[in-house]
Amino acid sequence: MVLQLGDMAPDFTVGSTEGVIEFHKWLGDSWGMLFSHPSAFHSVCTTELAVLARLKPEFDKRNTKLLGLSVDTLESYFEWFKDIKELENVTINYPMIADSDRKVASIYGMIHPNESQTFTIRSLFLINPQKKIRLMQIYPGSLGRSFQEILRALDSLQLTDKYEVATGAEWKNGQDCIIMPSVPDSELHARFPKGFRELKPYYKVTPQPNL
């Protein structure tokens, strides 16, 4: 099964460093970020897990739960967490899935045989409270991710779900947004009381509506 944007995120029940997780039930009415990494005791992964632990309050502000995965055992995670604490001076504060039987990795397509026959690549899924996949990201094992970009994407998704706007390249929270062309001209003033500027007939911008 090849997952696509808008698909229902497959449900699963699996063991983690914080106990058994029934994925859809665990998400509840929150957004979720499900991400995989190649293995425990991996240098690049060490940096990623540490960065996420520091950024968790930012994800909390966005009502987004974090859930990591690799094909390791729970025992290896707990030993690795000690190294991360020593090296990065941070405690891992979100659950990690011990997917040693590759159950979750398989249904989410996290193992790419031409990259590695055995280890998960750096896959990432943003999932909304309706359990729909809203963003997918795929990196090779050698390249650590920018989680600031994921926060930017979350801000955009949560904003554009509520208002008929889009966000341009390099957009950041607080900047002007692009009005969707589907909004009739006759409704622009009512829908965007902060005003708007018409740069071209197809290109209108407005201050960020939720600020």
Long-range contact list for 189-193, CB < 8 A, 24+ apart?
Answer: 191/164
Residue type (1 letter), 85: K
**φ, ψ at 157 (rounded to 5°):** -60, -45
- Other CB atoms within 10 Å distance of the CB of residue 40: 23
Residue type (1 letter), 88: E
CA angle, 62 then 66 then 69, to 5° = 160
The token pair that represents 169 in the structure block: 């390249």
- How many angstroms separate the CA atoms of 153 and 31, rounded? 12
Choosing from 45, 52, 71, 177, which is the catalytic residue?
A: 45
- How many angstroms separate the CA atoms of 81 and 140, rounded? 23
- How many angstroms separate the CA atoms of 47 and 165, rounded? 35
Please say if 177 is a catalytic residue: no
Asked if 107 contacts 13 with a C-beta cutoff of 8 angstroms, the reply is no
Which residues are marked as active site?
A: 45
